[in-house]
Structure 1
Amino acid sequence: MPVAAPKVCACGKVVPPGGRCPCRAKADAERKARFDKTRPSARKRGYTGAWDKARAAFLKANPTCFCGAPATVVDHRIPHKGDMAIFWDRSNWQPLCAHHHNSGKQRQERRAAHGD
């Protein structure tokens, strides 16, 4: 079975196959921290006590992700971006497991935001 060759990072360090250079991880963490400073709090984005109750009721009625795993996240199919009409539109909600919400769904939204 073939083994991937190590890569050389832009900083000059050799990175094993499937690994990340510490300089890239640090740069990503710094970028995320800068973004988080400009982002409104969860409560300001609409995730209030009313949301907590509606979320719990939705997950009780829709307990599984499409993959069959227990759903732990109520995802907005169409990102609401602060629009409370879209935020509270239950037809826009879907139950997802944390894995599918935090991987595929987030990747989809990033692609859409960048016009890819």
Structure 2
Amino acid sequence: MPVRPPVFRPRWHKGEDQRRREFDAKRGSARQRGYDTAWEKVRARHLALHPTCCVPGCRTPTDRLNVDHIESVREAPERRLDPTNLRTLCQSHHSARTSRDHSWNRKI
């Protein structure tokens, strides 16, 4: 059975776990990023009114839903609690949208 040769990494190379921990430390907690009690109330109200993923044909159970900002909080902080700026997405669709919108090759 062939064995994969070891990969050389310089001493200054950081592993994936270490990079993720450093990113999370710089990012701040959810409360520091604006997801406070006011957000939790708006989120609960939105999920009560829109209990399914907005992607046609998606049948994700209601316990796996996220409330997504259509216009990101980073770009429009004044619309953070605006109910017209929210939509319900399941975890997989929300991750795909976030990845697309916040990646290095996003369309501006």
Normalized against structure 2, the TM-score is what?
A: 0.70
Structure 1, unaligned stretches of length 5 or more? Answer: 1-7, 13-25
1:68 aligns with 2:59: yes
Task: Count how many residue pairs are aligned between Structure 1 and Structure 2.
Answer: 94
Residue identity in the other structure for 1:109? D
Match of 2:93 in 1: 100
Distance in 2 (CA, whole Å) between partners of 1:64 and 1:38 is 33
Residue identity in the other structure for 2:16? D
Contact 1:46–1:82 under 8 Å retained in 2: no
Distance in 2 (CA, whole Å) between partners of 1:9 and 1:105 is 37
Contact 1:64–1:96 under 8 Å retained in 2: yes
Residue identity in the other structure for 2:83? R
CA-based RMSD of the aligned residues comes to: 2.6
Structure 2, unaligned stretches of length 5 or more? Answer: 9-13
What displacement does 1:97 show? 1.0
More helix by share: 1
Match of 2:11 in 1: none
What displacement does 1:74 show? 0.4
User: Could you list the per-position Cα deviations for residues 57-106 of structure 1 after superposition, in whole angstroms to 9, with x for gaps in the alignment?
Assistant: 1001000002232452101122212853121222221101112212x122
1:35 aligns with 2:26: no
Contact 1:74–1:95 under 8 Å retained in 2: yes
Structure 1 residues 74, 11: CA separation in 2 closer, same or farther (over 3 Å shift)? same
Structure 1 residues 83, 110: CA separation in 2 closer, same or farther (over 3 Å shift)? closer
**Per the alignment, in what secondary structure is the counterpart of residue 99 of structure 2?**
helix
What is the aligned-residue identity percentage?
Answer: 33
